[in-house]
A and B are shown apart, each in its own frame.
Chain A
């Protein structure tokens, strides 16, 4: 047998090996895609109930008597704010169901309506005081139990004791439905309001804004510092200097430190020493930038290293100073790599909740933060808090919040891709 024959004989085996290897590759891609798809479908399916909300139409009589105010041409905002609007709803409900008389049944009847509805009426009246003295049909929010039932997530055939909604309430809902007084509608308040303990009133905007402010602080701090540090280490730092080696090793170590450690550091330094307000996006951003910095530095150094030396030498040869070489040539060419690294770091920071525990951002914050100093929370924390709440409707909200987080992440990545394409140079 000569060599050609040996090779030809083994050829079949070698091709088969290659085919097998390809199949392994395709298989692993299919498996990971299947998991991703399963996860996404599960989240989307679970979240759908959260995007609609049940409303009930009530004929509200904004009478002076029920509101307990005197007729006059002008009201101060304070006056209107302090009136009681709860009775408006109770009265409208009793009118709708005149045969309800016992105290217990009245209580069950009042529970059809969300506890937030009275404040909705208050806002309506403050906005348009001319409503006082008139009678209006108003769609008000239903309670979360009613909402869950109306969406078909509670089985009406279960024994009464096993469900949170009582038989008599079901007959009322059926009656409302026959009169076209109950409907499902897009849940706009999910995107426009802050957190609430009542699922029907809870929204994501507070956490979204908190995440946005925190990420802004992180970006503004870690990007310039990280890039500057990497440029110094790559371009200016003396080589073979033990001092620089120590710094390098430490940066690499920092990238592997568990994030909660940064939280403890942040608590000790920023909050206890410098007096940064607890729970504020400023404190969160400061802590998360510590976490993001090593990632950005490492990525930037790799990007700068990959700029061909010929470009540097050509620029130097034409008489450019070192700083000109860096700002005119090296950094623009390294920019796509730097941006990729920064986005990876930022995405990590966006999903982080452990370090924020130490600085008080794992908290119930109902008001929407208006700046870098207001108490706020972030998206992953909001997801955690909702997933741990007993009310059934929070399950859907949790999934909906995950979707918002994924969209946020997607937009961030999109921005990075666009910027990268803009800076990309081919040679």
Chain B
């Protein structure tokens, strides 16, 4: 009897595991937050453009979900099951109801040097000379919604692993209606020229591999202060203003958690902002707000005073957005300057 009950639960469990995944529900859970419920874009690029959906293969969609776009916001989803990935791709496909196009996986051969010449004159304006793509995220904050779609990063390892040569060639031949991507064939190039461009785009793969490297950063920037806590806070405020930041307020770490006046007075937080920098950072990636506004905490423990901040370079990795790295590097250097200035 006990084994029968066990078998019953086993059947329920296998039923849970084997139920056909709901592509729409999965899209809403994992994708819609960036791409919008109907794929119109947001933090992520728009997907629902018919000329896009109808010109990419299912394989391209599935590999894109699996691999993401390293450094271009789109995360990889390696833990989704094959059935779940298929279901999401089918849901995206359902927006146009046009059967998926299939591409011959045979590599395209061409003269990449000649392809480079064409790329630099015809493609680089939008895709960048090195194929790194347009700036910004999807259509929110960083750009107005009526602007054209951001040119994809053709040198991205996720893109190169997802797009076959023939898919790239097809896009070059036909262009993408509703985007600035025009047909190279109609604009005067021959099919051989287009093969050469494909060969050049494919050559980005080697460059990308050579540049891949992992860097490690400390979680926090910490500087000892030779002054008392009160003096350090005053020095800090002066150092912040010297860097053209606006002081917002000074409070305690426990502010809002304990009754006013009962906070730990040896954990002082100075909040500040440079609104120009803030606006630029939000334009690069609207998600960075969770580490705003800028702040330095001054603590006193066992007679020792320290100033500490987050390390923006460490956090930059969370966002999978290479465009944010430069801003985070600037902010890390600014924090270091402020702390050093305040400790002099």
Mutual binders A and B: no
